[in-house]
Structure 1
Amino acid sequence: MYVRAPALLALMATTVVAKSWQDKIKNVVVLVEENRSFDTFAGGLKYSDDINGLVDRKFCNPANVSQPDSVQVCARPIAENIAPNDPNHGISGVNMQLLSTYHPNETLVDSGIEYETMKGFVTEQSSTYKTVNLTQAAEVINYYAQDHVRVFAAMAENFVLFDRWFAAVPGPTNPNRAYLTSGTSHGHGRNDAAFNVAALPQRSIFQQLSENGIEWINYQNSTTQPMLNPTNGFNPDSLFYNWTYTSGAWKTNIKPIADFYKDAAAGTLPAFTYINPECCSYDSFHPPSPVTTGENFIKGIYEALRTSPQWESTLFILTFDEHGGFADHVPPPVGVPAGDNLTYTEVSPDGKNMTFNFERLGIRVPTLVISPWVERGVIEHKGRNNGGEYSHTSIPAFIAKLWNLDNLTPRTEYSSTFEHLITDDFRDDTPMTLPNPYPY
């Protein structure tokens, strides 16, 4: 009979099986801020030459896109703390920003025959605000220097920055937030009344998690209307959905932001934390929110997580729901799967109907993945998994892989996930605190 040597037996007894990436992440936290493009907010980051931003790049728009020889308005790192205007970010307005027309041929765009040129931001801003003041219109293309977004820059430099993460819809807030939380907007292309009365019928990530016994909380910062507080803001994202209302989850799983800080400190955050900022005056970055107060808000969220007993098993995703009409130089992907077969029609500024099929992604937005299990200073480019791009539906797609759930829609199935960023090495050098915002 073969007998193992005592030393070998001892070695086998003490061998520790390496954790899988799924074993390392027990708590996912998602904070979705508002209305900033990648170039506007992160284009001035210069800690790495690998970032596809605006440092050492000349990015210009004609003052009038219909006049090729008109004055060129070029991006400069002088964006203001409080944007003086809120740019148009409806779907038809975004068509003008990307394609220089309110009425692109969607078939030609999706096939790559009709190209996005990213030349219409200044034109649309001038049209929206009926101004020929190019200094005023240029605010839509100007960007922040790294020192002006000190908090975000520190987070990016210490964790993973995505420079090719796209909004799900080339349009406004709620359709993008619906795609992020359910893989579709169910044909909604604007912030219509359905979002305020829990009218969306599709299955959301919140329903999916509850069906699988996975705890979640939607913490919200005074954004509720009309089902919790009829006089103030928007419904939190989980209350877009009829299921959240009819199941009673709106009473048990939606909490004020103050409870987030308490739960983080106590180490009692649920498996899935979803955070709605206030909108749109002080901590969401949505004009006229000051950048400084938005930076202070994300600093507070990070520091609450960093000092939480749950930090060692946490993955924190910070993103922005859409570009808010602010310029970006990278054309979004086209010909991608929609979440369903519904289309959306609206009246364009020229008074004509425009129909959108949800087969194009929105504009790049700043996105970070933060965890003690990711490397420092990584710049993540094009998606690597599932054959698709990074966009908002990468979040439910990642959650599906993390907790062995099904994909909600064809869009989530297409979207790239980012589990490859989770390493085998736990970092003990992640900062406890972040810099204070720039003192405008």
Structure 2
Amino acid sequence: MVGLKFATVAALSGLVIATPATIGYKGDWKSKIKNVVVLVEENRSFDTFAGGLSYTSGINGLLHHNYCNSMNASDPAQMGDVCAGPRANDVAPDDPNHSISGVNMQIFSTWHPDESKADSRIEIENMRGFVTEQSVAYDTLNKTRAAEVLNYYTSDQIRVFGTMAENFVLFDRWFAAVPGPTNPNRAYITSGTSHGHGKNDNAFNVYGLPQRSIFQQLSEAGITWMNYQNSTTGPGLGFNPDAAFYNWTYTSGAYKTNIAPLDQFYADAKAGTLPQFTYINPECCDYQSFHPPSPITLGEQFIKGIYEAVRGSPQWDETLFILTFDEHGGFGDHVPPPTGVPAGDDVLYTETAPDGKNITFNFERLGVRVPTLLISPWVQKGYVEHKGSNNGGEYTHTSILGFLQSLWGLDTLTPRVSYSSTFEHLITDDLRTDTPATLPDPFPYT
């Protein structure tokens, strides 16, 4: 009777409740997943992008949380608060600061948090400095302009992502690997460390990272992979696809054989010839990556096309598709990132904050939450996954590496990978036949 009452209350509240009958595998989950597709988009926090989703009340977003920031974090009473609302623009007017020092201000309301207080840092992570940092970065006291870092999208405004979330698994406690910019996070996604790089420096443009990556690891294990990319410049000429970060990719010749234009992805998906591991880079940062000034509508159109190609592929019944964002891009989130986590290695990073003083970062805390989906005919419909449970860690970008390690019997790349919670328990025993073949068109802003 107690169990029946609990189930009834849960159903009425809209929460998705995991039970042994509906979640978790009984058989060999590895036999179900033969192909993994990873698409990493750009620069959106969970709250501002997915915090307005309303298909279940179980999402830790902004619909049930009044989230405000101070215009002046050092004197909060001086100018009052700015609060998040459902009025985010299709094109963000500004690209928020997402350097490590800028993210310090966003999380701690100071560029120089006391890194020695690892055990009690939760007390000073107030997540109230996003608007202050935006005000400083763009030298503005215009509350409407500064508030864009907090404003969020409604379910109707992100119809593509929202439909995917309703039909598959949404993580609402998945953190970026680094509280900083794109390439250090992408390095953690693909190798479990950034080798001390905390900004988008030139090493990423010249195959300059020396560490062993997932791409090298897969080649050594005889597992097929491709990095499909839509860069407007290409390897060595600008914003590299992620496989081209690594020295091994160049010296092994994989840059010629395993990096291909995005058109090839669509052709391979249609033909049923995608490799065992597919990694996709969108262009950055003008029209399909979600990175300002990329319009949300064009980003939605892009992920719709990727999903429909994967869903329509003859390989669909053996595929797991992971969609995530590399980092929060300076946009606000109310959940403090975990601290005291293992770094990828012992290489430190130093940069100069806006006040002219240096900060040194040891990579022992995670970045801000980002939206992440697990998509497959083998996962439950509309399930919301919260805190990770296995390995004792959190969900973060290196959770992908940990999953691949378990799937294909690979060795562990770094301590951060060992720490990260993985998600094979979300693969069920039931092959679904109700997954949508097509997704709705993006919201018509104009």
- TM category (shorter chain) comes to over 0.9
Distance 1:357 1:111 in 2: 17
Report the equivalent of 2:305.
300
Report the equivalent of 1:318.
323
Q: Is the 8 A contact 1:33 1:321 kept in 2?
A: yes
1:42 aligns with 2:47: no
Aligned residues: 419
Report the equivalent of 1:180.
189
Q: 1:113 to 1:299 in 2, by over 3 A?
A: closer
Distance 2:303 2:285 in 1: 15
Report the equivalent of 1:8.
none
Q: 1:282 to 1:332 in 2, by over 3 A?
A: same
Report the Cα offset of residue 63 of structure 1.
Answer: 1.2
Report the equivalent of 2:265.
260
Report the equivalent of 2:438.
433
Report the equivalent of 2:158.
149
Distance 2:315 2:418 in 1: 29
TM-score by length of 2: 0.93
Equivalent AA in structure 2 for residue 45 of structure 1: L
1:58 aligns with 2:86: no
1:31 to 34, 39, 53: 39
Report the equivalent of 1:245.
250
Report the Cα offset of residue 56 of structure 1.
Answer: 2.6
Distance 1:155 1:387 in 2: 28
Report the Cα offset of residue 115 of structure 1.
Answer: 2.2
Distance 2:432 2:419 in 1: 31
User: Which structure 2 residue ranges, 5 or more long, are not aligned?
Assistant: 1-25
Report the equivalent of 2:360.
355
Report the Cα offset of residue 112 of structure 1.
Answer: 3.1
Report the Cα offset of residue 110 of structure 1.
Answer: 5.3
Report the equivalent of 1:218.
227
Report the equivalent of 2:114.
105
Equivalent AA in structure 2 for residue 273 of structure 1: T
Report the Cα offset of residue 384 of structure 1.
Answer: 1.2
Which structure is larger by alpha-carbon Rg, 1 or 2? 1
Instruction: Provide the alpha-carbon RMSD of the alignment.
Output: 1.0
Equivalent AA in structure 1 for residue 171 of structure 2: F
Deviations 1:196-249 (A, max 9, x none): 00010000000000000000000000254552xx2xx41100010000000000
1:90 aligns with 2:99: yes
Q: Is the 8 A contact 1:223 1:236 kept in 2?
A: no
1:404 aligns with 2:409: yes
Q: Where do 1:276-295 residues align within 5 Å?
A: 276-295=281-300
Structure 2 SS opposite 1:107: coil
Q: Is the 8 A contact 2:231 2:240 kept in 1?
A: no
Q: Where do 1:196-207 residues align within 5 Å?
A: 196-207=205-216
Equivalent AA in structure 2 for residue 244 of structure 1: T
Distance 2:231 2:240 in 1: 9
Distance 1:414 1:123 in 2: 33
Report the equivalent of 1:384.
389
1:163 to 167, 172, 175: 172
Distance 2:64 2:113 in 1: 32
Deviations 1:338-370 (A, max 9, x none): 000011000001111000000000000000000
Q: Is the 8 A contact 2:45 2:327 kept in 1?
A: yes
Report the Cα offset of residue 57 of structure 1.
Answer: 1.7
Q: 1:388 to 1:125 in 2, by over 3 A?
A: same
Report the Cα offset of residue 319 of structure 1.
Answer: 0.1
User: Which structure 1 residue ranges, 5 or more long, are not aligned?
Assistant: 1-17
Structure 2 SS opposite 1:386: helix
Distance 2:29 2:109 in 1: 44
Distance 1:398 1:224 in 2: 31
Q: Is the 8 A contact 2:122 2:336 kept in 1?
A: no
Structure 2 SS opposite 1:102: coil
